[in-house]
């Protein structure tokens, strides 16, 4: 019997997971992959006029609701404060992520690219720390040499159209184009759990899902042929 495949996703705030990559999370969870979501903060500063502790309580629950819909097996936090992640030295932050990797032993890890997608300093810090942790985990044989690290890769296709992958030459590595067409309604439902963030979906999930594109993109930055300009369709496929 094969061991269960494990996927670790490292984000900064509640709601970083559902809209950008909720489709892929739901897809792999439905296929039996054990998905662990590690979120650095509880989004303490995300609700204007509401105290940090109360905001954290609200947003943690929203995240847990979304994660349950997506099929996430486990939600973990690094207990850092929203907006202050970048103030933690990257080595110390990497050590915290590494401790989780040591326990979870993922076959693949997904995090932000060094651009942080939105440029948010918390996202950028999580990207650097997770990349460092991944390299240390592989060097220390906590992860298999075949373990993969992916960066979430924004694409024009996130706004309109479907199946127009970013160019691997520009992305910096092979690009996984994950077909999430069967999971768009779930992705909308998960996004709608983040009520305090005013998700952009106000209608019925089935209707809102029709506005979304059917692929999410991830750039393979570790664990594959270096800079091979290719596109593939499964995070775990053999290249
Ligand atoms: Zn965020």
Residue 214 Cα to ligand 1 middle (Å): 22
pLDDT recorded at residue 157 = 45
Q: Over the range 40-53, which residues count as b (16 or more CB within 10 Å of their CB) and which as e?
A: bbbbbbbbeebeee
Strands of the sheet with 34-41, listed across from one edge:
74-80, 34-41, 6-11, 108-112, 148-152, 215-222, 175-179, 231-232
CATH architecture of 6-232: 3-Layer(aba) Sandwich (3.40)
Residue 84 Cα to ligand 1 middle (Å): 12
163 has a pLDDT exceeding 70: no
Instruction: Compute φ and ψ for 106, nearest 5 degrees.
Output: -70, 150
Q: Please name the residues in contact with 54: beta carbons below 8 A apart, sequence gap of 6 or more.
A: 47
Cα torsion 17, 137, 151, 214 to 10°: value is -60
Confidence of residue 2 (pLDDT cuts 50, 70, 90): low
Question: 62 and 14 in contact (C-beta within 8 Å)?
Answer: yes
Dihedral of alpha carbons 197, 58, 45, 38, sign: negative
pLDDT recorded at residue 213 = 86
Residue 4 Cα to ligand 1 middle (Å): 29
Between 228 and 200, the higher pLDDT residue: 200
Residue 118 Cα to ligand 1 middle (Å): 8
pLDDT recorded at residue 154 = 80
Question: 116 and 127 in contact (C-beta within 8 Å)?
Answer: yes
CA-angle at 152, arms to 146 and 154, nearest 5°: 145
Between 50 and 163, the higher pLDDT residue: 50
Residue 120 Cα to ligand 1 middle (Å): 7
Its pTM stands at 0.94
DSSP 20-31: HHHHHHHHHHHT
53 has a pLDDT exceeding 80: yes
82-95 tens-digit pLDDT: 999 999 999 999 99
Count, in order, helices (H) and strands (E) of the chain.
8, 8
158 has a pLDDT exceeding 50: no
184-201 tens-digit pLDDT: 999 999 999 999 999 999
Confidence of residue 68 (pLDDT cuts 50, 70, 90): very high
Helix (H, G, I), strand (E, B) or coil at 168: helix
Mean predicted lDDT score pLDDT of the chain: 91
Residue 11 Cα to ligand 1 middle (Å): 7
Confidence of residue 28 (pLDDT cuts 50, 70, 90): very high
Query: Residue 152 CA to chain centroid, in angstroms?
Result: 7
Q: Cα–Cα distance between 223 and 149 in angstroms, integer?
A: 7
Residue 44 Cα to ligand 1 middle (Å): 11
Nearest CA among 214, 200, 209 for reference residue 15: 200
Average pLDDT over residues 221-227: 75
Helix (H, G, I), strand (E, B) or coil at 226: coil
What's the full length of the chain, in residues?
A: 239
pLDDT recorded at residue 171 = 74
pLDDT recorded at residue 238 = 73
Residue 8 Cα to ligand 1 middle (Å): 17
Q: Please name the residues in contact with 77: beta carbons below 8 A apart, sequence gap of 6 or more.
A: 38, 39, 40, 41, 42, 60
Residue 122 Cα to ligand 1 middle (Å): 7
């Amino acid at each position: 019997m094969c061991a269960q495949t494990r996927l670790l996703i490292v984000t900064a705030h509640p709601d970083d997971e559902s809209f950008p990559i909720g489709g892929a999370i739901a897809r792999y969870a439905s296929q039996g992959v054990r998905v662990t979501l590690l979120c650095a903060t509880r989004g303490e500063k995300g609700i204007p006029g509401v105290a940090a502790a109360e905001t954290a309580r609200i947003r943690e629950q929203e995240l847990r609701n979304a994660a349950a819909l997506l099929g996430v097996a486990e939600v973990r936090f690094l207990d850092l404060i929203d907006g202050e992640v970048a103030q933690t030295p990257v080595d110390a932050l990497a050590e915290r992520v590494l401790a989780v990797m040591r326990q979870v032993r993922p076959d693949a890890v997904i995090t932000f690219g060094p651009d942080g997608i939105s440029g948010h300093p918390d996202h950028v810090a999580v990207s650097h720390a997770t990349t460092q942790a991944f390299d240390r985990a592989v060097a220390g044989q906590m992860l298999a040499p075949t373990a993969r690290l992916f960066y979430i890769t924004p694409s024009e296709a996130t706004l309109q159209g479907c199946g127009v992958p970013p160019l691997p030459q520009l992305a910096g590595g092979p690009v996984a184009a994950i077909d999430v067409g069967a999971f768009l309604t779930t992705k909308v439902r998960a996004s709608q759990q983040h009520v305090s963030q005013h998700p952009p979906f106000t209608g019925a999930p089935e209707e809102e899902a029709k506005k979304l594109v059917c692929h999410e993109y991830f750039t393979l930055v570790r664990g594959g042929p270096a800079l091979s300009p290719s596109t593939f369709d499964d995070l775990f496929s053999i290249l």
